Structure 1
């Protein structure tokens, strides 16, 4: 079915039809229809995130509803937003009084300290905070959120709620690494790249778990990772496996030309901005080919564990 759809899309494009415009129009009509209801349907919003990428102008609002920052009742949004704003100010003021933040403190670190203070587990020593296994993953997500909005209150709530939602996957990160290896072997037709990475221990030394824990916020450019986060917030963390595989396959040729493990790991740590969309598009295509778009999210937070 996927191959037939892709062939038809290719044929229509060759004939001059603009299918992208039709899809964008369909997306806009559908999301507007979902957002005009006084009570938002979380199930349908999640399903929309899995079927499409959210239009930029609605992305943050939909994320906030799906992450529980805003309630499903739109009449209550103003009241809840006011309460969220006050809570942000109280936590930020608490850190200021404790002299744990200053004007020189990076914004993402401020957000992490606020998160820890709100959780009642902010350590006295800064070094202990940086040893926290959640530290690098939270900062990666927070930097990604900060690149999407300049609103400090939005930055805090989206970062903390997304991290809390995603943090429940901690026990599955190693299995995601194992599934990445399986998927790479499947997608790398001649296995040249797989054997090359294996011989140079790249798969052992590359911080794949850090990639997953930070949801590629520090790896992909901001114009690309937001489409991946749509799927994760929609209920499918499996998309992250395909992103990792897509990165390997996209840079197959330069990787095969390298014989130094450190050079390959350094090369893979930061994806060039002009390659981000290609990586994400290929990842989404693989994900869809394997049935990702068919996932039916539950009314509660759904964690897709299929591959």
Structure 2
């Protein structure tokens, strides 16, 4: 790594960004009609500065409009929907002042999707997966209206990952066989690729609850930017980091317990995964539309 790249990498790790990157993003966000493709490309190319993440994700995910002049009006509409839902679930006594925010937002989401009164409609895992995503976003954003809408739209992205899960798991195994056949064979023996139980959960929730929020947002930047494939590289670096411990695992339950302890507080796994993903020439092969 040359001195300039090392410096850039270090600055980004401690939360500093180059003047050029900040200027570039500010210009994109200040345009009267934002360029959706360029905003997504920024997410794919860089870690989004914390102060602009909420706005950038909101525009990319369709929570806020590309037309800057329509921002205030759309925000009022989003706020009104949020308040109507919040009022409704409160009146129906599904929540009260003691309810955790994650439970409040999940209950509102269930009502909006017609599933609060009819809980048997829809996939059974959706409720838990949405909750996992909400818990992460509540740690990232302060505004509950913004959090609710981003959670809804980010969850919609994860449905795309779910649809591609078989391809993503196949790609995971193909790459792991190439890099570490012993580790692959052991994971295969544990049933990771056969049942897909652990892997699908990790991919569909985008590692929510496994990797610490401050590291995880870097991965979610890429997912918002359009990459589904990033989850594969996170898993590969995760299992390579835990390699020796994984080889000692006797069951899928042992592996699950081990993975749940990872956290990646210093973002070592995530940073490695992003670097590998970026150096992969076909990293946009599977994308979110």
Q: Where does residue 270 of structure 2 map in the other structure? A: 280
Contact kept? 1:50, 1:230, Cα under 8 Å: yes
Q: Where does residue 303 of structure 1 map in the other structure? A: 288
Seen in structure 2, the aligned counterparts of structure 1 residues 80 and 144 have a Cα distance that, compared at 3 Å, is same
Q: Where does residue 131 of structure 2 map in the other structure? A: 139
Question: Which runs of 5 or more residues in structure 2 are unaligned?
Answer: none
Contact kept? 1:202, 1:264, Cα under 8 Å: no
Q: Where does residue 259 of structure 2 map in the other structure? A: 268
Q: Where does residue 90 of structure 2 map in the other structure? A: 96
Q: Where does residue 184 of structure 2 map in the other structure? A: 194
What per-residue deviation string (whole Å, max 9, x for no partner) do you get for residues 53-99 of structure 1? 11111111000001111111112212211111111000111111111
How far apart are the structure 1 equivalents of 2:82 and 2:135? 18
Instruction: Name which of 147, 157, 166 aligns with 2:158.
Output: 166
- Verify: 1:111 aligned to 2:105, yes or no: yes
Q: Secondary structure at the match of 1:100?
A: coil
How far apart are the structure 2 equivalents of 1:131 and 1:101? 23
Contact kept? 1:141, 1:163, Cα under 8 Å: yes
Q: Where does residue 150 of structure 1 map in the other structure? A: 142
Instruction: Name which of 239, 246, 260 aligns with 1:248.
Output: 239
How far apart are the structure 2 equivalents of 1:152 and 1:43? 27
- Verify: 1:41 aligned to 2:35, yes or no: yes
CA deviation after TM superposition for structure 1 residue 267, in Å: 0.5
How far apart are the structure 2 equivalents of 1:278 and 1:213? 22
- Verify: 1:213 aligned to 2:204, yes or no: yes
Q: Which has the higher contact order (CA 8 A, sep 6+)?
A: 1
Q: Where does residue 18 of structure 1 map in the other structure? A: 7
How far apart are the structure 1 equivalents of 2:171 and 2:70? 42
Matches within 5 A, 1:3-14: 10-12=1-3
How far apart are the structure 1 equivalents of 2:83 and 2:190? 50
How far apart are the structure 2 equivalents of 1:198 and 1:71? 45
Count of aligned residue pairs for this structure pair:
283
CA deviation after TM superposition for structure 1 residue 45, in Å: 0.3
CA deviation after TM superposition for structure 1 residue 118, in Å: 1.4
How far apart are the structure 1 equivalents of 2:40 and 2:7? 27
What per-residue deviation string (whole Å, max 9, x for no partner) do you get for residues 100-156 of structure 1? 12234332232222112112232356xx48972311211111111111012211121
How far apart are the structure 1 equivalents of 2:97 and 2:281? 47
Instruction: Name which of 154, 168, 171 aligns with 1:176.
Output: 168
Q: Where does residue 122 of structure 1 map in the other structure? A: 116
Contact kept? 1:212, 1:240, Cα under 8 Å: yes
